[in-house]
Copies of this chain bind each other. A is one copy, B any other.
Amino acid sequence: MTSAEIRSDVAREAAGPHGHDGAAGATSAEPVWWGWGPAFAHQPLPASVADVLTQLGIPVRPSRPVALADVRLPPVRLSATARHALVAIVGEGHVRLEAEVRVRHCRGRSTTDLLLLRSGDASAAPDAVVLPADHDEVLELLRVATRERIVVVPYGGGTSVVGGLAPPAAQGRPVIALDLRRLDRLGRIDRESGTVELDAGLRGPRVEELLAPHGLTLGHVPQSWEYATIGGFAATRSSGQASGGYGRFDELVVGLRVATPAGGWELGRAPASAAGPDLRALVLGSEGAFGVITRVTVRVHPLPAHRVHEGWRVPDFATGTRLLRDLAARDLRPTVCRLADETETLANLAGPTATDDNDTSDAAASGGGGAGGCRLITGFEGSGAAVAERAARVAEILRAGGATALGPDAGLDWERGRFRAPYLRDALLDLGVFAETLETAGFWSSLPALYTGVRRALTDTLGSAGLAPVVMCHVSHLYATGASLYFTVVSAQGDDPVATWRTAKAAAGEAIVAAGGTITHHHAVGTEHQPWLGAEIGGLGLDVLRSVKRTLDPAGILNPGVLVP
């Protein structure tokens, strides 16, 4: 089975066929409005999980979202003039005002977003959802929005976990979500250069479906892959689970087409250039605040002929991290590489596991790390000889460093469960249990302090609130000079989980800044990371972002208050 086949299978299992009908409403394959994935993919957790949670001091209090009819939505503020102007561009059926459509485009998919939605709070919903057909319609919409003082939220998969879809500086102006799902074409395939043009509204699975008949893969598979879009990957500098082999999304992009209120913009005439600063880098990560990315040209790879997965047990997290450093320094990054710390390794055993049919004993047998230490997953994709050779060299270094091979099953287990975490979060929220993630990255020398600092900040804040936090971490993206750390927190909800998490997240943010890391490795800034952006890029950096925004979006209609404070 090729990776595209496997990925397609996962997508089918998880979400069914994806709608490309141009409608923004619900179909059975659309995710539930209050969580992740379609209803049929939601399963309650086994009773044993509740037992473990209770033993950890986390009370289980079943809790369901309110009914859709009970969700509180603000009235539509769009004037008839404005509405007609929008309809004149995209047609009647593509300006949607129905309650359900608005709720579905309300906020993103952070735990805070879900807690608010589940409680019936859709106060941040857009007034309308507009579905342009192409780049030119986006340009026209931005002209009308500038004229009519309408705030525009570029909307891809709606999977932001940093508040990137609820602009706080709308200041009473009407807000439209610009849903890009109709921009769904595979453009020019340049076989010689190994690049393809992809429309911004294409979701992860659809891209692989379109590329597979050509023997190609994008290989960009973040956890949000089932729903997130090409435009979103570019706008947030997404990094996929196979970034070690295929690269971060910003490394894959060689060309960009952007619609801005100041006009259209095309960038990228060569893989590398010295024609001044690389302005592609200014669009990548611009989070819908500078313009609407409508198409990207990206590097693609041949579908890998072989894939090898391996599970490993390393003595401890520090040793494992050093081993990964050694691999990265020798330019031996596996395609996939994930090192869980002691807590996450245990949680994979005791908690709700990656796959449905895994019980504790299975997990131990398949290499979850039952004998202590930390679980490491490595994966390699590519052509036959190269994959085997690379895997062998990595295995040699890992063994020499004290790692024990656990066989391919642990790796395949991980792969089967690679998209499950957000579904699991829904199930935990259904039990009244809090679950959220945050991530950072740093240079190798700063990683130990970064790990300790963030862990302590989360544990102390939530612990002193009596919420019995379980704080887990894994390393998941390697670079020659450093790596990312991805933290998962499971805790009791307490009385005001949204406020409590804000406090814990702030403590983690301070710890990241103090330890010299970046406030986000692949989740983007949105509104949630804004308080620490100044520490990261300096006052001058903020001034530069503001000046670029003024140039491209003089009326400040694009995602105001997101990214650029």
Which A residues lie at the B interface, using CB under 8 A? 190, 192-195, 236-239, 248, 250, 254, 260, 262-263, 265-267, 269-279, 281-287, 299, 325, 329-330, 383, 440-446, 477, 479-484, 516-525, 529, 533, 536-541, 543-548, 550-552, 563-564
Contact = CB atoms under 8 A, between A and B. Distances in A.
Given A276-B545, A282-B282, A544-B282, A194 B269 contact: no
Contacts of A479: 271-272
Task: Identify the interface centre among A522, A538, A544, A550: most chain B CB within 10 Å of its CB.
Answer: A544
A275 B537 contact: yes
Contacts of A239: 272, 274
A260 B538 CA distance: 13
B442 A272 contact: no
Complex A-B, nearest 6 residue pairs according to Cβ-Cβ distance, in ascending order: A281-B281, A271-B479, A270-B518, A193-B443, A273-B518, A270-B441
Contact of A544 (B279, B480, B517, B522): B279
Contact of A281 (B271, B278, B445, B522): B278
7 contacts: A193-B443, A254-B481, A270-B484, A271-B482, A274-B521, A275-B533, A277-B285
Given A237-B273, A271-B441, 15 more contacts: A192-B325, A239-B272, A250-B278, A254-B443, A263-B539, A270-B441, A272-B477, A274-B522, A274-B525, A276-B285, A276-B545, A277-B285, A540-B552, A543-B551, A544-B548
Contacts of A552: 540, 544
Contact of A277 (B194, B284, B440): B284
B274 A520 contact: yes
A54 to B, nearest CB: 36
Count this chain's copies in the assembly: 2
Contacts of A525: 274-276
A444 B192 contact: yes
A160 B455 CA distance: 49
A509 to B, nearest CB: 11
B443 A272 contact: no
A444 B330 CA distance: 29
A444 B540 CA distance: 38
A452 to B, nearest CB: 16
Task: Identify the interface centre among A287, A481, A548: most chain B CB within 10 Å of its CB.
Answer: A481
Nearest to A479: B271
A287 B519 CA distance: 29
Contact of A284 (B254, B278, B551): B278
A271 B238 CA distance: 14
Task: Identify the interface centre among A287, A325, A537, A546: most chain B CB within 10 Å of its CB.
Answer: A537
A529 B271 contact: no
B480 A299 contact: yes
A282 B285 contact: no
A379 to B, nearest CB: 17
A276 B330 CA distance: 29
A389 to B, nearest CB: 8
A287 B277 CA distance: 9
A537 to B, nearest CB: 6
A329 B445 CA distance: 33
Contact of A545 (B262, B277, B538, B543): B277
B540 A193 contact: no
Contact of A519 (B275, B278, B330, B564): B275
Contacts of A254: 443, 481
A468 to B, nearest CB: 30
B281 A286 contact: no
B482 A538 contact: no
Contacts of A325: 192
A190 B445 contact: yes
A521 B272 contact: yes
A563 B516 CA distance: 33
